[in-house]
Amino acid sequence: MGKPFIFNCPRTGLTVQGYDDEDEPETVEGKRYKMFECLACRGFHLIDPETGELMPDRR
């Protein structure tokens, strides 16, 4: 298991703990985003594990 971090699920609004497995992240606008499975909604979110921030929606 990797380094733990906290984020808020955008679907449920719940606070969720994730684990950074140290794989190479995708860099967008200077931030490192990685795909994580959310334990609250069972969906996947792109999250910066250093800050817990979700990737902004680009629609």
Q: Is the pLDDT of residue 57 over 60?
A: yes
Please give the angle made by the CA atoms of 41, 18 and 50, to the nearest 5 degrees: 125
Token digits for 20? 């950074």
What confidence score (pLDDT) does residue 26 get? 63
pLDDT mean across residues, the chain: 85
pLDDT at 1 over 70: no
**Residues 33-55: tens digit of each pLDDT:** 888 999 999 999 999 888 889 98
Average pLDDT over residues 19-44: 82
Strands 53-54 and 31-37: unpaired
Longest dimension (CA), the chain: 33
